[in-house]
Amino acid sequence: MRRLSFVTGLVVAATVAPSALADVPPPAGYVEKCTVAKQQTAKSECLECASMHGQTSRCASLLAPYCYVNVCQTWGASAWTEVLCRAKDPNAPAVPADVRAQLASPPSIPPVDGGVATIPSTCAAYVPVVQDNQPGDGSGCSLPSRRSPLRELGPVVILLGVLALIVSRRRRRD
């Protein structure tokens, strides 16, 4: 009986742990820096694009033919919004309405990414100068650098503590 409860506890912990770490809410007082309003300048134009886990190059693939490059992404682990920009120019290729419609909502079933979108060589004149307003290493992730790893693992540690308490009390009864 003890082995069964221990194995059950391990299965529950293994099942709950990934979902507990999936989307961690931003810390108190967090202000999103990756928005079109904050990234767009007088010399650039930007678009927002919804993305999700398994589709990390979706936005770049949709907008690369129109000379947009990824500037940043919002907070989120399984779903987020990316901001892509290009230099303002009346001769830049127009983004068709059907592509703009795809930007607002990610697909319901995400395929695994197959590669990296490349910007056509004809876009060299439209690549914007990216201003790095993001904390960290400039990778586009807006995770604060001073975040405690223990805070991230809090739910898992609590769950494992409860399971250890249950197992120890059952051992005392036996």
Same domain, 53 and 101: yes
Same domain, 14 and 76: no
Same domain, 161 and 128: no
Same domain, 60 and 87: yes
Same domain, 64 and 137: yes
SS (H, E, C) 85-133: EEECCCCCCCCCHHHHHHHHCCCCCCCCCCCCCCCCHHHHHHCCCCCCC
Domain residues for the domain of 124 are: 30-146
Same domain, 138 and 167: no
Q: Distance (Å, rounded) from C-alpha 34 to C-alpha 81?
A: 8
Asked whether 84 and 132 are in contact (CB, 8 A), the reply is no
pLDDT tens digits in sequence order for the chain, 174 residues long: 566 565 566 555 555 544 444 567 888 999 999 999 999 999 999 999 998 888 888 899 999 999 999 999 998 888 889 999 999 999 999 999 999 998 987 665 555 555 556 666 667 666 665 554 444 444 333 334 445 555 566 677 788 888 888 988 888 876
**Buried residues in 117-140 as b, exposed as e (16+ CB within 10 A):** bebeeebeebebebeeebeeeeeb
Q: Distance (Å, rounded) from C-alpha 123 to C-alpha 171?
A: 68
Same domain, 158 and 126: no
Domain tally for the chain?
A: 2
Same domain, 97 and 113: yes
